[in-house]
Structure 1
């Protein structure tokens, strides 16, 4: 990202994040996705006044948040597969 194009880049990231949030199902991830969009929007407003290298740190933090949101459903699905209900565990045991 070139700092002279920071305003346009942050705007594009904000729009993408907010559109992604609208298409997500209800839940924690849908609540957190707009947070990333708001961060990009604030960075866009700051970049409109003057280029600032500190924006990159905030930008990377927002990207890290979005990446963690993308991984969260996969991790939750994996955890659900590992956990079995007590009833299904008892079905394989013989009653004495």
Structure 2
């Protein structure tokens, strides 16, 4: 079990570092803010994965990836995709802590 936790932690950490570095290189604006949000989501997933492995993290991870992919597309596409991504906190409301 420790190996799985370590892998998830390292995996989410790599995504967080990449997303935050990408955000630092972007000019000020909504796109930079959303890239920072994606990086923070990965960082939160990293912290959760450090405590215990949880398959439910994958939903949050996929939502963060979807947000990042929408940022890489044209700005008008990113605006419509942003409306469909739910914040990570709202996804955790009905979950039990393991």
Residue 30 of structure 2 corresponds to residue 28 of structure 1: yes
Higher radius of gyration, 1 or 2: 1
Query: Equivalences for 1:69-88 in 2 at 5 Å?
Result: 69-73=71-75
Q: Considering only aligned residues, what root-mean-square deviation do their CA atoms show, in Å?
A: 1.8
The structure in which a higher percent of residues are helix is: 1
Q: Paired residue for 1:9, among 3, 8, 11?
A: 11
Cα distance in 1 between the residues matched to 2:75 and 2:22: 14
TM-score (normalizing by structure 2):
0.70
TM-score (normalizing by structure 1):
0.71
Cα distance in 1 between the residues matched to 2:74 and 2:49: 30
